Amino acid sequence: MKALIAAMAALAALPLLAQTAPAKQDPAQKPVAVINGETITAEKLDLLYARLGTKARQQYESAGGKTAFLENYLRKRLVVQEAIKRGFEQRRDVQMDMQASAESTLFDRYVRDVVSQPILTEGEIRKFYDDNPKEFETSEQVKVRHIIVVPTDVGPNPKSKTQALEKIQAIAAELHGQNVFPAGTDPATVDRLEMQHFVEAAKKYSEDSAAPNGGDLGWVNHGVLDPTFEEAAFTMKKGVTSGIIETRFGYHLIFVEDKKPAGMQSYEEAKPQIREFLMTQHATEVVEAVARLTNELRGSSKIAVFPENIK
């Protein structure tokens, strides 16, 4: 939706009981992080990520997806927790700003989702989708993880290229030994264990910021990664660990978790973006609808104004 991003940005302004058999946990309620005792569930992460604008989501998708977003969100929550710990949210001016922000959000969402709903028809949205197929083309993507060992003369763990290569070779050998399974092992079990082994090795050995997340680089498009790394990632089969790949950054092992072929967004996927874009074409009608609603509400409400108290 390259051509829509700018217009869409403009619209954005307008205790547990013991059990003999533990209950199955809802995947949405599984924790993705716990920060000073505060649990961030998969559901909350999904909701926060879904609220991102198209441009922001594209930037995150090229930089690690939800994993990268979670890292930024955790940093934000640390500051918020610190502010609460110091009682900063009790300041009157802060409370007023928080109240104003909540009111603004409620107003904007109600106008967008209720007042504006009759203005833009389903047929108009569908017509835009059908008439602009190129806007909804999607490129091939890979969901990739890696383990990197970096030759460096500085930092807490300096090593020569030879030492870095020896270390990545040892990691590759360890993974190979772990991924030998008895004959007849269920393929789904093999896939799950191979990924689990890679994630654990990345957390233990990898030398970049993705290590704590099991080397997860998220969904990646062509043209984002180092060319050598990218060529390997896009030619590998899903669920396979690569051989040792050397780039200008160091030595890598790559695991392709999933792949998406080039194609098109479905209508249902594209619909929210189209609706937001087309609403900018109906801005005057939206303003008029809001004016009509406020006039009606004012006429049927009891309001008292005291100008003498306005300083």
| Whole-Å CA distances, 61 to 54, 148, 209, 259, 287 | 10, 20, 16, 14, 34
For the ranges 64-78, 262-276, 280-294, the one whose mean pLDDT is highest: 280-294
CB 206 within 8 A of CB 254: no
Report the C-alpha gap between 229 and 261 in whole angstroms: 18
Answering whether pTM is above 0.85, one says: no
Report the C-alpha gap between 150 and 169 in whole angstroms: 13
HEC states along the chain?
A: CHHHHHHHHHHCCCCCCCCCCCCCCCHHHCEEEEECCEEEEHHHHHHHHHCCCHHHHHHHHCCCHHHHHHHHHHHHHHHHHHHHHCCHHHCHHHHHHHHHHHHHHHHHHHHHHHHCCCCCCHHHHHHHHHHCHHHHEECCEEEEEEEEECCECCCCCCECHHHHHHHHHHHHHHHHHHCCCCCCCCHHHHHHHHHHHHHHHHHHHCCCCCHHHCCEEEEEECCCCCHHHHHHHHHCCCCCECCCEEECCEEEEEEEEEEECCEECCHHHHHHHHHHHHHHHCHHHHHHHHHHHHHHHHHCCCCCCCHHHCC
Q: What is the pLDDT of residue 23?
A: 54
| Whole-Å CA distances, 75 to 69, 70, 113, 135 | 10, 9, 31, 34
Q: What is the pLDDT of residues 170-225, one digit of tens each?
A: 999 999 999 999 988 888 899 999 999 999 999 999 998 888 889 988 888 888 88
Q: What is the pLDDT of residues 47-69, one digit of tens each?
A: 888 788 767 877 787 677 788 88
Band of pLDDT at residue 12, cut at 50, 70 and 90: very low
Which has more pLDDT, 8 or 125?
125
Task: Report CA 120 to chain centroid distance, whole Å.
Answer: 29
